[in-house]
């Protein structure tokens, strides 16, 4: 997959934010930047702070302190900051919107920076009156609505800690996260509408709180006007919390240590309870803005729409990164294909979105509906498109690039994680982009490829993605589970963060992800990633999606079993698909079995759960399933394993 699909013009290069960044830093090339950033993370971070025009309440006396070791760096010693000030208060003079929102039913709202600043300030005063104080944990069980942004910023103003929870979770998953972090407050909505049907969020909360006894107050945003269960003395309407204060209240803004926690974002573990990644005021938001500026080239006044939920990393990433750059965050709290398959394309046209990001699995689903849907809409405002969450397959990549981006918009691939506050590998718009690839490792993180002994792998050789320097977006640990944090990332090689992705890079500096390293397939003496099988299978005109896993074999050690979802009215034989893979990868690497399924198990942010497929298929424990979107897809797998 070395084909170049997009090349920047001179205008792209001259106008890019990263080009201006190089000029301010006195550097002549991206290569020079990469070397300098790896050698001196403190210097690089100072350059980022200048680009973001951070307004410290007190400036740092030391940029980086490694006294606690590389796994526990401390940034900006002696400084005082509040990310709510950086995101909104200092931006109130801007004429462009801070956020634009559209509901699934078609309601819209536009908030200016001044409106958002005032709303979050009134809410902060109201929450303080209810007893919320610095360090308290606040669950945010909310859809992507304007009030969610106000809540996030109000929590920041008070020095409390926001705990976003996916709005599609059931009571058990909600309770587990609230109990783990010891949340005192919870902000939710009475409900939401998804695919035209009401979803009772408050009823879910009521069931969850039976197992989350630390929650003392519940603030409820009215969205559906449906009757909801209510506990007097505990529950209060959002409008009352905001309305109990007056617009002329002084700004409530705690001056905080940049290392004070701001977010706990939970990610699902392979086994056991979910992991709460702790992020700070001087970390996650700054890294999000850095990436959006340097990779997505988002300029002040432009409009970024990333299809996500507040409970996933990309929700706060979209909100905080956009606001810090003086751009507009576009929020949507509905399904991507309701009431018609062109819902996303219609919103892009209607709101003149300049930057659009989605997960590849959404594109695979929408492309099955045909290219006539995006062709109905004026997508000329789009300047950059993006994808994250999983490796691309060539067919959906080309479809998105050609039919949505018109072949003119760079497709900025992006991969990292909740624990890193965003990207490790991505693209810059000043270099050519190769099919399904990343054209750089994001500066300031020391990304490299290591072999099984911890030595750097040469170009073209697949190995572990590893990070050799500290960066501002590092999770400061897992909530009350530091040993688990150390074991997860720092136990493989001394002083090196091993991320868990299996990657390679070519001699020109382009990177590819081959899947999670714990999904590695060792077939016929060769290591491959699941994506190599899946890309071949998805290239068949009848195949919508595919997942490949390694299965124990008494003679061969391991063989591949592939699970395939056919397109509507699609038809293919198992032998046909086995032969297709053999033709591309070689006969010894052909899958032992190809099994047809109605759906692949996915997380609620659209990642295929290969570990769940493998465990269920082999009759093993499936581990944490709280992020699973479609449990019925798992239920059918054990029977297939008997065949």
Spatial distance between the Cα atoms of 497 and 471, rounded to a whole number of angstroms:
11
Q: Is residue 131 within 8 Å of 148, Cβ to Cβ?
A: no
Q: Convert the pLDDT of each residue in 433-487 to its tens digit.
A: 999 999 999 999 999 999 989 999 999 998 999 999 999 999 999 999 999 999 9
Tokens of 605: 């942010």
Please state which of the ranges 58-62, 271-275, 538-542 shows the lowest mean pLDDT. Answer: 271-275
Q: What is the pLDDT of residue 469?
A: 97
Q: How confident is the model at residue 535 (pLDDT cuts 50, 70, 90)?
A: confident
Residue 293 has pLDDT above 90, yes or no: yes
Average pLDDT over residues 523-535: 73
Residue 596 has pLDDT above 50, yes or no: yes
Cis before 339? omega within 30: yes
Q: How confident is the model at residue 518 (pLDDT cuts 50, 70, 90)?
A: low
Which stretches of 479-602 are assigned E, i.e. beta strand? 497-505, 511-516, 521-523, 526-528, 543-553, 557-566, 593-596
Q: How confident is the model at residue 302 (pLDDT cuts 50, 70, 90)?
A: very high
Average pLDDT over residues 311-338: 96
Rounded mean pLDDT of the chain?
92
Q: What is the pLDDT of residue 253?
A: 98
Share of the chain above pLDDT 70, in %: 95
Q: How confident is the model at residue 270 (pLDDT cuts 50, 70, 90)?
A: very low
Residue 397 has pLDDT above 60, yes or no: yes
Q: Is residue 97 within 8 Å of 115, Cβ to Cβ?
A: no
Phi, psi values for residue 523, rounded to 5°: -120, 130
Q: What is the pLDDT of residue 515?
A: 75
- The larger pLDDT score, comparing residue 21 to residue 609, is at 21
Q: Is residue 289 within 8 Å of 52, Cβ to Cβ?
A: yes
Spatial distance between the Cα atoms of 381 and 383, rounded to a whole number of angstroms:
6
Q: Convert the pLDDT of each residue in 611-639 to its tens digit.
A: 889 888 988 887 777 777 788 888 888 87
Residue 606 has pLDDT above 90, yes or no: no
Secondary structure of 465-482 in the HEC alphabet? EEECCCCCCCCCCECCCH
Residue 272 has pLDDT above 60, yes or no: no
Place of tokens 């080009």: 19
Instruction: Give one DSSP letter per residue of 494-526, joined into a string.
Output: TTBEEEEEEEEE-TTS-EEEEEEGGG-EEETTE
Residue 245 has pLDDT above 70, yes or no: no
Q: What is the pLDDT of residue 637?
A: 87
**Collapsed DSSP state (helix, strand, coil) of residue 379:** coil
Q: Convert the pLDDT of each residue in 567-585 to its tens digit.
A: 988 899 999 999 998 888 8
Q: Convert the pLDDT of each residue in 146-202 to its tens digit.
A: 999 999 999 999 999 999 998 988 888 899 999 999 999 999 999 998 898 888 999
Instruction: Give one DSSP letter per residue of 144-195, joined into a string.
Output: S-HHHHHHHHHHHHHT-EEEE--TT--HHHHHHHHHHHT-SEEEEES-EEET
Q: Convert the pLDDT of each residue in 59-111 to its tens digit.
A: 999 999 999 999 999 999 999 999 999 999 999 999 999 999 999 999 999 99
Q: What is the pLDDT of residue 244?
A: 65
pTM here? 0.86
Average pLDDT over residues 333-342: 94
Q: What is the pLDDT of residue 642?
A: 58
Pairing mode, if any, of strands 217-221 and 108-112?
unpaired
- From residue 77, give the alpha-carbon distance in Å to each of 262, 280, 482, 615: 17, 13, 22, 46
Residue 271 has pLDDT above 60, yes or no: no
Burial of 338 (0-12, 13-18, 19+ CB in 10 A): middle
Top mean-pLDDT range of 152-166, 357-371, 379-393, 609-623 = 152-166
Residue 556 has pLDDT above 80, yes or no: no
Spatial distance between the Cα atoms of 477 and 404, rounded to a whole number of angstroms:
39
Tokens of 138: 């606040």
Residue 554 has pLDDT above 80, yes or no: no
């Amino acid at each position: 997959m070395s084909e170049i699909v997009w090349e920047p013009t001179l205008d792209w290069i001259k106008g890019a934010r990263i080009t201006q960044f190089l000029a301010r830093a006195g550097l002549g090339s991206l290569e020079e930047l990469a070397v300098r950033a790896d050698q001196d993370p403190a210097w690089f971070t100072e350059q980022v702070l200048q680009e973001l025009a951070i307004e410290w309440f007190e400036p740092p006396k030391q940029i980086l302190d490694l006294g606690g070791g590389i796994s526990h760096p401390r940034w900006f010693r002696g400084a005082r900051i509040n990310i709510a000030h950086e995101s909104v208060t200092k931006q109130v003079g801007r004429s462009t919107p801070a956020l634009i929102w559209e509901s699934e039913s078609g309601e819209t709202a536009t908030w200016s920076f001044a409106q958002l600043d005032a709303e979050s300030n009134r809410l902060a005063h109201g929450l303080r009156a209810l007893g919320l104080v610095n360090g308290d944990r606040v669950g945010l069980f909310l859809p992507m609505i304007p009030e969610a942004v106000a809540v996030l910023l109000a929590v920041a103003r008070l020095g409390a800690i926001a705990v976003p929870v996916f709005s599609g979770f059931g009571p058990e998953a909600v309770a587990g996260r609230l109990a783990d972090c010891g949340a005192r407050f919870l902000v939710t909505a009475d409900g939401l509408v998804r695919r035209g049907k009401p979803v009772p969020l408050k009823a879910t909360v009521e069931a969850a709180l039976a197992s989350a006894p630390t929650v003392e107050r519940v603030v409820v945003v009215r969205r559906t006007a449906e009757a909801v269960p209510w506990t007097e003395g505990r529950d209060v309407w959002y409008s009352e919390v905001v309305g109990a204060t007056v617009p002329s209240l002084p700004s409530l803004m705690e001056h905080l240590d940049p290392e004070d926690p701001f977010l706990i974002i939970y990610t699902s573990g392979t086994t056991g309870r979910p992991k709460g990644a702790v992020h700070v005021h001087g970390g996650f938001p700054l890294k999000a803005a850095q990436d959006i500026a340097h990779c997505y080239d988002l300029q002040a006044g432009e409009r970024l729409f990333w299809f996500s939920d507040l409970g996933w990393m990309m929700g706060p990433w979209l909100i905080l990164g956009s606001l810090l750059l003086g751009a507009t965050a576009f929020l949507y709290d509905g399904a991507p294909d309701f009431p018609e398959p062109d819902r996303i394309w219609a919103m892009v046209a209607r709101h003149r979105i300049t930057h659009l990001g989605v997960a590849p699995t959404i594109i695979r689903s929408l492309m099955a509906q045909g290219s006539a849907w995006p062709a109905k809409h004026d997508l000329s405002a789009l300047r950059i498109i993006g994808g994250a969450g999983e490796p691309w397959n060539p067919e959906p990549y080309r479809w998105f690039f050609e039919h949505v981006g018109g072949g003119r918009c760079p497709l900025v691939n992006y991969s990292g994680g909740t624990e890193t506050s965003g990207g490790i590998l991505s693209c810059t718009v000043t270099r050519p982009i190769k099919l399904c690839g990343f054209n750089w490792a994001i500066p300031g993180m020391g990304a490299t490829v290591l072999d099984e002994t911890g030595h750097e792998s040469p170009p073209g050789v697949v190995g572990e993605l590893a990070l050799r320097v500290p960066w501002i977006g590092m999770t400061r640990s897992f909530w009350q589970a530091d040993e688990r944090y150390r074991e997860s990332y720092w136990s493989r090689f001394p002083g090196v963060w091993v991320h868990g992705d299996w990657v390679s890079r070519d001699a020109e500096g382009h990177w590819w992800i081959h899947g999670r390293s714990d999904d590695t397939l060792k077939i016929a003496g060769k290591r491959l990633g699941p994506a190599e099988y899946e890309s071949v299978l998805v290239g068949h005109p009848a195949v919508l999606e595919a997942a490949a896993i390694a299965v124990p074999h008494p003679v061969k050690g391991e063989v591949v079993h592939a699970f395939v979802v056919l397109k509507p009215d699609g038809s293919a034989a198992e032998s046909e698909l086995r032969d297709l893979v053999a033709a591309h990868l070689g006969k010894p690497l052909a899958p032992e079995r190809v099994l047809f399924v109605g759906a692949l198990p996915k997380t609620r942010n659209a990642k295929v759960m290969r570990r769940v497929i493998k465990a269920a298929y082999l009759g093993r424990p499936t581990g944490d399933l709280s992020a699973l979107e479609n449990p019925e897809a798992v239920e059918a797998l054990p029977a297939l394993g008997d065949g």
